Amino acid sequence: MAVFVVGLTGGIGSGKTTVASMLATRGAHIIDCDGLGRLVAEPHGRAYGAIVAHFGHGIVGADGRLDRPALAGIVFSDPDALGALNAMTHPAIDAEILERLRTLPDDSIVVLDMAVLTESQLGAGIYQYVVVVEADPVGRIDRIIRRGLTEADARARMASQATDDQRRTIADLIVPNTGALDELERAVDIAWIAIRRAATPAAPAPD
């Protein structure tokens, strides 16, 4: 079996990073795609030059790194600018993912922890199976607030993302995160069995 690649997503505060680390303890290799998004925009990153050429030196800080609040201020209110930024960063992130996949032994199960899987083409053609973490909106807002955002910010971020229905249409598997962490562990046990089964090619039918 070659490397089997799972795309893992869920709304903000759904618990997808927690699920990713639970899958890691069961043997999955995790690739943090949000982290790769930051990496490609670093001065030596694959997308840095294109971003600066497009948005100008006004989005570069004194230390040569991107001024992220300035860039966020531009793309937050301008969908075309966001589209242009994604067109530069997403192929760069895909290239980073592929580079990492090449280093893994056959039979590895790889999980791409990817917040924007539903909203974008990021990783399309790379992942073979989609796992969606679903949690009730009240629990999600509580978790986001505990991280320091206001309730209004939490609701605005949730509204800017895909809906649960949209995520469900692309899911091969849904992991419910609706109770305590030990319940989530049990849900991840079940998910891990399903992922391993999906990763295992069916044996040829006997003659």
Q: Which of 10, 37, 45, 123 binds ligand ATP (CB under 6 A)?
A: 10
Shortest Å, Cβ 16 to ligand ATP: 4
Q: Which of 5, 7, 15, 123 binds ligand ATP (CB under 6 A)?
A: 15
- 37 contributes a contact to ligand ATP by CB under 6 A: no
Positions in 104-133 near ligand ATP (CB under 6 A)? 115
- 81 contributes a contact to ligand ATP by CB under 6 A: no
Q: What angle do CA 184, 187, 191 make, to 5 degrees?
A: 130
- 13 contributes a contact to ligand ATP by CB under 6 A: yes
Shortest Å, Cβ 10 to ligand ATP: 5
Identify the sign of the CA torsion 93, 99, 102, 108. negative
- 184 contributes a contact to ligand ATP by CB under 6 A: yes
| Smaller CB separation from ligand ATP, 59 or 117 | 117
- 143 contributes a contact to ligand ATP by CB under 6 A: yes
Q: Which of 181, 186, 190, 193 binds ligand ATP (CB under 6 A)?
A: 181
- 18 contributes a contact to ligand ATP by CB under 6 A: yes
- 177 contributes a contact to ligand ATP by CB under 6 A: yes
| Smaller CB separation from ligand ATP, 86 or 161 | 161
Q: How far apart are CA 198 and CA 194, in angstroms?
A: 6
Q: Which residues bind ligand ATP (CB under 6 A)?
A: 10, 12-18, 115, 143, 177, 180-181, 184
